[in-house]
Amino acid sequence: MKSGQGGLDSYQTEAQIVDNYTVNCLGLHLLLYTAWRLGIKKGLHTSTMSAHYRARSYYPSEEEVPLDGPNVYGLTKGIAEGICRYFARQFDMNLAVLRITGPCAREQFLEKAKNPPHYPPGSLYLTDEEDLAKAYLAALDYVCTGHGRCDVFFISGDADHREMNMSKARAVLGWEPKSHLMLEA
């Protein structure tokens, strides 16, 4: 991604269209095909909450919320999730998709956690680097069992599930954000 886009409007340039399709769709398809040809059948994909229209006040589950991001970045990340499902189904790959929000370094997390940025209609829950690392490790363990499946997980710093229901990540991956506990100490 050469230029980030939020999840609220459909503004885009021709360069952003080409860049996003090239990286998020074509690049991913070629990567998964090459991995399959090399005998690699397990993997993780980083998606984004920008795959959704971000003016919702609550995201009940990964399966219930439509992939309706209004900009080319969110659109192509949603298409990329479809590419992952295709490779799970057609090539018997075992994939986990982490639909992350607000990834940040520890220093940024600590600074902004006291006054979260407002992202209409709610807050943008930042996800600390340590929580992200633990989510990726849990997802790596998850894809080592079974075959031919692709599961999507919300990953966020929203520890109280005020805006994102992350019960699937807790139940299936054994993951939930913990970095907020540093703020309470």
Q: Are strands 122-123 and 118-119 parallel, antiparallel or unpaired?
A: antiparallel
Write down the pLDDT at residue 120: 62
CATH topology of domain 14-184: Rossmann fold (3.40.50)
The one-letter amino acid code at 41 reads K
Task: Give the span between the Cα atoms of 100 and 132, in whole angstroms.
Answer: 8
Instruction: Of 78, 95, 81, 101, give the one whose Cα is nearest residue 35.
Output: 95
Tokens of 141: 């363990």
Maximal C-alpha separation, the chain: 49
DSSP state of 50: G
Write down the pLDDT at residue 4: 56
Write down the pLDDT at residue 125: 82
Strand partners, 151: 96
Whole-number CA gyration radius for the chain: 16
Write down the pLDDT at residue 18: 95
Instruction: Of 40, 45, 52, 42, give the one whose Cα is nearest residue 28.
Output: 45
Q: How do the pLDDT tens digits run along the chain, 185 residues long?
A: 555 566 677 889 999 999 999 999 999 999 999 999 999 999 999 999 999 988 888 999 999 999 999 999 999 999 999 999 999 999 999 999 999 998 999 999 988 877 766 666 666 788 999 999 999 999 999 999 999 999 999 999 999 998 999 999 999 999 999 998 888 76
